[in-house]
């Protein structure tokens, strides 16, 4: 169960409250049955408004961390705390697979969070949902298509739009671009970073793609094999360059070299 961290007192104002961490992990251990622990005595915090990437070997606990943040899983020891002014319904989650309901149209899939009571608004109008579809690169005509009539990229875009229905303040991304081709992956990366900046989200991304981590993130945690330890905590440079310029910018290449060195150090 995720505990909640009290933000700074209201009389200090929003500017002060915005500095409170989104999550704080203290000595967290996660273990499934009699298997060796996936996480053991892990501690770190995620700053509000940060774009954080988690990289590391397969099976090291990256996706487990996302499930801890989403309160889908609890630790066997230690604590996971979320700032108290962010409710569980204000966390959006995009999984590795789109997980769309095949009998529903695109618009009907976007209506699901409201129907399940997970939306901050009781009802989203059709125009609001269409606007979400446009924000992630879908067309109005896609609203009547069922998942089988959509490409894999379109399905992933719809999954991203669905995660935004509840107007989240925190966005969790579990390798959402892994199954799409490189050109579409690049466009989706740009969309996600734009949405992060425009909505002032806290975003946590799990990825095996080091260039993706260097390109998108403000900070990268490089994890060891399970039970995961933090090998390096890298703060990455970001500038006012356009998304296209950043892909080949010298600072991005330096960040990529730092990540590669951290991940493959003995």
Residue 213 phi, psi dihedral angles, 5° rounding: -65, -45
State mean pLDDT over 234-254. Answer: 75
Q: How many residues can be counted in the chain?
A: 266
State mean pLDDT over 131-137. Answer: 92
Q: How many CB atoms are closer than 10 A to CB 80?
A: 21
What is the per-residue pLDDT for 222? 93
Window from 8-22, 143-157, 212-226 with minimum mean pLDDT: 8-22
The string of pLDDT tens digits covering residues 59-105 is 899 999 999 999 999 999 999 999 888 887 889 999 989 999 999 99
Q: How confident is the model at residue 2 (pLDDT cuts 50, 70, 90)?
A: low
DSSP assignment letter at 11: G
Taking the C-alpha atoms of residue 112 and residue 126, their distance in angstroms, rounded to an integer, is 13
3-state secondary structure of 261: helix
What does the block give as tokens for 198?
């425009």
State mean pLDDT over 129-141. Answer: 93
* Average pLDDT in the chain: 86
pLDDT beyond 90 at 30: yes
pLDDT beyond 90 at 29: yes
Torsion angle, alpha carbons of 211, 216, 221, 227, to 10: -70
The string of pLDDT tens digits covering residues 143-186 is 999 999 999 889 999 999 999 998 999 999 999 888 788 888 88
Percent of the chain whose predicted confidence (pLDDT) is above 90: 55
């Amino acid at each position: 169960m995720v505990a909640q961290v009290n933000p700074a007192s209201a009389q200090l104002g929003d500017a002060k409250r915005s500095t409170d961490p989104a999550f704080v992990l203290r000595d967290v251990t996660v273990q499934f049955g009699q298997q060796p622990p996936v996480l053991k005595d892990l501690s770190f915090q995620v700053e509000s408004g940060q774009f954080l990437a988690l990289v590391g070997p397969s099976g090291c606990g990256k996706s487990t961390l996302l499930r801890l943040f989403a309160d889908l899983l609890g630790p066997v020891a230690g604590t996971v705390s979320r700032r108290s002014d962010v409710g569980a319904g204000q966390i959006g989650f995009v999984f590795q697979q789109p997980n769309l309901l095949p009998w529903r149209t695109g618009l009907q899939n976007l209506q699901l969070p409201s129907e399940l009571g997970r939306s901050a608004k009781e009802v989203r109008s059709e125009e609001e949902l269409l606007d979400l579809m446009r924000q992630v690169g879908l067309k109005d005509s896609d609203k009547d298509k069922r998942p089988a009539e959509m490409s894999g990229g379109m399905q992933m875009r719809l999954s991203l739009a669905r995660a935004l229905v509840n107007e989240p303040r925190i966005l969790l991304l579990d390798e959402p671009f892994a199954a799409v081709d490189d050109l579409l992956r690049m466009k989706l990366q740009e969309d996600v970073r734009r949405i992060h900046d425009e909505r002032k989200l806290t975003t946590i991304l799990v990825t095996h793609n080091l260039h993706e981590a260097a390109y998108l993130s403000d900070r990268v945690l490089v994890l060891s094999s399970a039970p995961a330890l933090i090998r390096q905590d890298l703060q990455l440079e970001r500038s006012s360059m356009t998304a296209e310029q950043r892909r080949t910018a010298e600072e991005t290449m330096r960040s990529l070299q730092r990540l590669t060195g951290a991940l493959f150090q003995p």
